[in-house]
């Protein structure tokens, strides 16, 4: 039985906003699948949101977590996100959205890594939650499929290794953040487990 907890006006508004973000993401991603699987894509944004809930409890950051791929992967625009969810969530989603989708993969990732290294703590936590969710899935599937796993990606293991090791380095300040440190360590460990320790 649920406890009868009195919410403040702000808490109610934040919960409504988070519920709206979950519903919007579910609708926008409804036809998407996780790469190389039959799993509905929405499972990934929900995991990112859950990691942020455990990490910070910041409901705007959680909303940005569940919305982080809507602009890149659906018909949603960044203007839609700002209009529906406000400037704070819009700014977080925009910071985590690749700007030039038609550029080569390597160039887009280099730009994202440069941005990430200069991003503020909240945006880095958003990216950490996303990358950790990805690495959990990669580590699980790598244990199951071995080297055949890399066939589902546009780039092979060596390039993926470069990217994920660079992400570990770009977010290294989070190692000293009390909220993020356990998640950063898990991310670093999974990157080293799958790709080898670059020391």
Closest CA to 195 of 168, 158, 166: 158
Residues forming a β-bridge with 40: 33
- Is 72 known to be catalytic? yes
Question: Catalytic pick from 11, 72, 79, 103?
Answer: 72
Chain center to CA of 46: 10
Question: Catalytic pick from 73, 88, 98, 179?
Answer: 73
**CA-to-CA separations, 59 to 104, 113, 185, in angstroms, rounded:** 34, 25, 23
- Is 147 known to be catalytic? no
Distance CA 82, CA 70 (A): 12
Spatial CB neighbours of 92, under 8 Å, sequence gap ≥ 6: 60, 61, 64, 122, 123, 126
Catalytic sites, residue numbers:
72-73
């Amino acid at each position: 039985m649920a406890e009868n907890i009195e919410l403040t006006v702000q808490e109610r508004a934040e919960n409504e906003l988070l519920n709206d973000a979950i519903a919007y993401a579910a609708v926008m991603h409804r036809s998407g699948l996780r790469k190389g699987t039959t799993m509905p894509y929405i499972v990934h944004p929900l995991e990112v949101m859950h990691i942020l809930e455990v990490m910070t409890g910041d409901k705007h950051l959680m909303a940005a977590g569940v919305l982080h791929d809507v602009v890149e992967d659906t018909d949603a625009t960044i203007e839609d996100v700002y209009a529906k969810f406000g400037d704070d969530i819009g700014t977080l989603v925009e910071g985590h959205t690749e700007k030039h989708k038609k550029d080569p993969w390597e160039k887009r990732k280099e730009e994202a890594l440069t941005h990430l290294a200069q991003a503020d703590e909240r945006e880095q936590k958003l990216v950490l939650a996303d990358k950790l969710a990805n690495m959990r899935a990669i580590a699980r599937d790598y244990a199951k499929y071995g080297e055949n796993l890399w066939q589902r990606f546009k780039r092979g293991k060596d390039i993926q290794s470069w990217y994920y090791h660079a992400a570990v380095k770009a977010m290294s300040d989070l190692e000293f953040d009390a909220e993020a440190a356990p998640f950063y360590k898990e991310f670093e460990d999974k990157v080293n487990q799958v790709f080898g320790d670059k020391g």
